[in-house]
Chain A
Amino acid sequence: MNFEEIITERPTKTVYKDHGRTIKLFVENYSKSDILNEAVNQARVEETGLNVPELIEVSKIENRWALISEHIEGKTLDSLLKENPDKEDYYLNIFVDNQLSILHKRSPLLGRIKDKMKRKITNAQNIDENVKYDLLQRLEGMPVEDSVCHGDYNPSNVIIKDDGTIYTIDWSHVTQGSPVFDSARTYLLFNMDNKVELADKYLNLFLEKSGVSKREILRCVPIVAATQKTKGKEEEQEFLGKWIDVVDYE
């Protein structure tokens, strides 16, 4: 491909930068419906008015599906946090505020997060059936709400442009549901990244700003841990196994 620059390369897709655009190019046998679904979800999020890259085109390049969208020039919060450890509180504030502004949005046609989690856990091959039963029961008791949930909200998906505006990228996991799922997932992602202190700091700040109770978010942690476990990443299995083997008190 004759594009300017490769941003990321994954087994199923390659992301290029080219002439102010981001081109997400999928491998040849990738599910068409998944790609089109990602496109429509991104369009839905665009319609909420959030600062997100504009989807420009869905096309085929050399028989491979591609999603072409606006390229957001700027620095990710992840790199800003690394470069300015003394400004951790400042960036964490921006991070949580931005997450809450997403959670305040509504997009009624997005998929439901509880459905998605139920599907993933039910079909999981690497979770004990007894544990699965408890997890599904726990999931069943979780609240049904309709906030836009990014689904992979972590500092590498938040970009601050040079003019200071904040953009959120990578909407491939977006759903709608209770904010506790989105927050529990962010908490999990920090922890998996071995940033335990930052995870706690994040959680406390989120609780303070959102008014959600800690208990509600913690109730959700084993569920998001289980969906992460279904991805089957070897290095995560032991850690996640511990996080999901808990009981609902009786």
Chain B
Amino acid sequence: MDTNRELIDNVDKLKRAIDRVKNAQKEFSKYTQEQVDKIFFEAAIAANKARIPLAKMAVEETNMGVIEDKVIKNHYASEYIYNAYKNTKTCGLIEENGSYGIKKYAEPIGVIAAVIPTTNPTSTVIFKTLLALKTRNGIIISPHPRAKKSSIEAARIVLDAAVKAGAPEGIIDWIDVPSLELTNTVMRESDLILATGGPSMVKAAYSSGKPALGVGAGNTPAIIDDSADIILAVNSIIHSKTFDNGMICASEQSVIVLDGIYEKVKEEFSKRGCYFLNDEEKDKVRKTMIINGAVNAKIVGQTACKIAELSGINVPSNTKILIGEVEDTSISEEFAHEKLSPVLAMYRAENFNDAIEKAHELVNDGGHGHTSSIYINTITEKEKLKLFETKMETYRVLVNTPSSQGGIGDIYNFKLAPSLTLGCGSWGGNSVSENVGVKHLLNIKTVAERRNNMLWFRTPEKIYLKRGSIPVALQELKDVYDKKRVFIVTDSYLYKTGFTRCVTDKLNELGIEHTVFSNVESDPSLASAIEGTKIMTEFQPDCIIALGGGSPIDAAKIMWVMYEHPEVDFMDMAMRFMDIRKRVYTFPKMGEKAYFIAIPTSAGTGSEVTPFAVITDEKTGIKYPLADYELMPKMAIVDADMMANSPKGLTAASGIDALIHGLEAYASMMATDFTDGLALKAIKNIFEYLPRAYQNGGNDMEAREKMADAATMAGMAFANAFLGVCHSMAHKLGAYHHIPHGIANALLISEVLRFNSAEIPNKMGTFPQYDHPHTLRRYAEIAEYLGLGGSNDNEKLENLISKVEELKDKIEIKKTIRDYGVDEKYFLDTLDEMTENAFDDQCTGSNPRYPLLSEIKDMYLKAYYGGER
């Protein structure tokens, strides 16, 4: 022993000691796992060797408990704790995953204040000092004055062994002359408190202002079910209740016995040396045992015979436990309390539910969160056991196990962590609900490196193109897929003008039964989708062909879902998400009933290759965009013959929509090289061929075909990279002011190009791949690809904007929202609401610049008034 060590008996000396431990701990915190493990090993060995003298000392000093049982506790605290944590990594890097870019470091906490109870004065010290050494913490022991000699001796033995094995001098220290003032000081000055003791002390620990790991009071009830092995049950309880004369906090305080076996249980208790008190004796024991609701200090840890003697009653000299048969489970019954001695309450339960109710009350009155116990046949009585497990408000529920030895873990069950500090969770007013171990004495530092989000490229399994491809592709319905019944969704115009004929003729030729549903309006409504689903369900198709512009294809997608999964809730599917991978809703698996083919009749929406569908609730006018890769068609047939005679307005509006799909997909934070290639080529072709398709219509089938392919390519790009704030705003502008979708986009795009290209945006978008505001460069890349010239990126951007404006002129799109006849007052009245809705649109999430509400509003205003505003 260090003879120079200063005796700690006042606050000043204690503060100096804390400083010394702090310094020692600083040194200790640099130790490696190997060094620490050696110290842990040697300290455990030393404590283990001293188990008998320490047990003797504790009993001699406190006059409580049983030497032989305290030997077991000391042995347990050294051997079991060592064994449980010998291989646990507690120093430095303890976990690493390169793929995820995660590292975890174990850091010590600092100086731990350990408050030690009288009931386990040496084993608790061994337990806490070993945990502290394993975790590179310093520790100061605050012993109870009744047990200070033995607690200090235990600490000294562990310290000496630790220092001999290389630990810093003074890494463990203790208060020599305990007082509440010193206990409070050490709690206040430490970095963490390990508080084992009564509720008052634990409360004091929690109010010290330092993080504390406290324990709660126990009042363990043990139910003996009529299915239990009575001999095992009774003898386990006796074994547990007599252990160290009943001083373990998890020890049984009452036994609740089912009526049917009550007498047998009683007989077994009597046979094994337990004494049943008569009424008069019960009263005497009550008065001796509990004073004003508190345990008489004189009976704690005494033998049954000693307690009988103190109570003035005679019992046989070999009596192990005094049992009081009582009925009341409330705190006005003295036997219902925690008794810290070999005294047991015994209740007769009418049935299992009654037993549970009694146990519940006993736990909630005196041992909330601690431990409960049951003896039951676990094979035949699973239901009852389940009920017990769910009803008990304790964080340890022990089955067929002596609770003293069972609750501390690793003796009767090898997955319950060994510990002498049993957390009781919030029910017991504690911060932990588990058995306290090394993890509670460590800080874990997590290093998280930046990682890019995984991206993807997904398309329909088949995309067929070139003019005249429809009948060739549909041949597969027979040859490859063996389809029997085809349901065609289109709109009434296309149906009446015979557009479906090229499909139905082929199906007739193949002998495939088919029907046409053509009641789809533009901006398809939920009502028409429901109507279509009804007819579809009656028809029971094994293939769906959607033929048309965006509306019939979108409507068909919705019908497809409702046909295959009538159980799904539409509102769930329509819920917005931040990241499609993390969305709350799991979309149902599609394609199990019907194969889905999309045939576009206009060059624009790209719906034939996208996972999106927009549907309008006709009652509220609200548009619901659905998005999930399950909604992607299985086959797309892009046949420009279907578009030959598209009207000019449709050509212009859908064509410019496709251009903006390309522009937004290219600027999106989720853009990849895969989508970039498709977007660039689509943009280039649209600039080149859209004016021709617009001017020449069906006379220029080359332009038609180039436009058909470009729209699908742009669709593939944004099916994977998604869109941006232009579409967010266009969706709402269209909804509020009935401007066709493509036109709405066209009116906004130039403002959006300028907005996104800001090098100093108010806020940039949040996505790992988007590392700095670089959208100006992205637009410049488009201009370069188009060969627009410009000596710097700003000029290139301006050239791109001019090119877009020029295209709009060529296809006769007007300049401003106002030009489309939107009333100024109505526009301004709805502006704030429209702005907020645009901000909240699904497309905003992938925009490279995160828009403020005021910025969206500003863009709307500029688009409304044009340049002269």
Per-position binary interface string of chain B over residues 363-379, scored 1 when its CB falls under 8 Å from any chain A CB and 0 otherwise:
00010000000000000
Residue of B145, B178, B198, B204 touching A247 (CB-CB under 8 A):
B198
B102 within 8 A of A: no
Ranked nearest first, the 3 interchain pairs of A and B with the lowest CB-CB distance are A248-B198, A141-B200, A218-B293
In the complex with contacts A136-B180, A140-B200, A249-B145 CB distance below 8 A: no
A236 within 8 A of B: no
B419 within 8 A of A: no
A250 within 8 A of B: yes
- In the complex, what residue of chain A is closest to B200 when comparing beta carbons? A141
Chain A residues with CB under 8 Å of B300's CB are: 247
Chain B residues with CB under 8 Å of A246's CB are: 291-292, 294-297
Max chain B Cβ within 10 angstroms of own Cβ: one of A139, A221, A250: A250
A138 within 8 A of B: yes
Chain B residues with CB under 8 Å of A134's CB are: 198, 297
B296 lies within 8 A of A245 (CB): yes
Bound-state Cα–Cα, A214 to B178, Å: 31
Chain B residues with CB under 8 Å of A218's CB are: 292-294
In the complex with contacts A130-B145, A250-B340, A243-B292 CB distance below 8 A: yes
B362 within 8 A of A: no
Chain A residues with CB under 8 Å of B144's CB are: 130, 133
B828 within 8 A of A: no
Residue of B117, B118, B291 touching A243 (CB-CB under 8 A):
B291
B-contacting residues, A211-250, CB 8 Å: 214-215, 218-219, 221-222, 242-243, 245-250
* Minimum distance in angstroms from A146 CB to a CB of chain B: 17
A137 within 8 A of B: yes
A250 lies within 8 A of B197 (CB): yes
B196 within 8 A of A: yes
A9 within 8 A of B: no
Chain A residues with CB under 8 Å of B218's CB are: 249
B340 lies within 8 A of A249 (CB): yes
In the complex with contacts A130-B146, A242-B291, A245-B296, A137-B204 CB distance below 8 A: yes
Number of CB contacts from chain A to chain B under 8 A = 100
B355 within 8 A of A: no
Residue of A214, A222, A250 touching B294 (CB-CB under 8 A):
A222
* Minimum distance in angstroms from A240 CB to a CB of chain B: 11
Chain A residues with CB under 8 Å of B198's CB are: 134, 137-138, 247-250
Q: Which residues from chain B sit less than 8 Å from chain A, CB to CB?
A: 117-119, 144-146, 178-180, 183-184, 196-204, 217-218, 247, 249, 291-298, 300, 331-332, 337-338, 340, 366
B338 lies within 8 A of A249 (CB): yes
A141 lies within 8 A of B199 (CB): yes
A129 within 8 A of B: yes
- In the complex, what residue of chain A is closest to B216 when comparing beta carbons? A249
B203 lies within 8 A of A141 (CB): yes
Chain B residues with CB under 8 Å of A136's CB are: 180
In the complex with contacts A214-B331, A246-B296, A137-B180 CB distance below 8 A: yes
In the complex with contacts A129-B145, A247-B300, A250-B197, A221-B204 CB distance below 8 A: no
Chain B residues with CB under 8 Å of A221's CB are: 292-294
Chain A residues with CB under 8 Å of B119's CB are: 250
In the complex with contacts A247-B297, A248-B294, A249-B217, A140-B199 CB distance below 8 A: no
A215-B331, A246-B297, A249-B340 known, 12 other contacts, Cβ within 8 Å: A129-B145, A133-B179, A133-B180, A137-B200, A137-B204, A141-B203, A221-B294, A248-B197, A248-B294, A250-B197, A250-B198, A250-B247
Chain A residues with CB under 8 Å of B295's CB are: 246-247, 249
Chain A residues with CB under 8 Å of B297's CB are: 131, 134, 245-247
B294 lies within 8 A of A140 (CB): no
Max chain B Cβ within 10 angstroms of own Cβ: one of A140, A247, A249: A249
Chain A residues with CB under 8 Å of B337's CB are: 249
In the complex with contacts A247-B294, A247-B297, A140-B331 CB distance below 8 A: no
Chain A residues with CB under 8 Å of B340's CB are: 247, 249-250
Chain A residues with CB under 8 Å of B179's CB are: 133
* Minimum distance in angstroms from B296 CB to a CB of chain A: 6
- In the complex, what residue of chain B is closest to A138 when comparing beta carbons? B200
Chain B residues with CB under 8 Å of A215's CB are: 293, 331
B-contacting residues, A157-216, CB 8 Å: 214-215
Can you name 14 A-B pairs with beta carbons within 8 Å? A133-B146, A134-B297, A136-B180, A137-B183, A214-B331, A214-B332, A219-B294, A221-B292, A246-B291, A247-B118, A247-B297, A248-B197, A250-B117, A250-B118
Chain A residues with CB under 8 Å of B338's CB are: 249
B296 lies within 8 A of A248 (CB): no
* Minimum distance in angstroms from B144 CB to a CB of chain A: 7
B-contacting residues, A107-136, CB 8 Å: 129-131, 133-134, 136
* Minimum distance in angstroms from B338 CB to a CB of chain A: 4
* Minimum distance in angstroms from A244 CB to a CB of chain B: 9
* Minimum distance in angstroms from A7 CB to a CB of chain B: 34
* Minimum distance in angstroms from B821 CB to a CB of chain A: 71
* Minimum distance in angstroms from A127 CB to a CB of chain B: 13
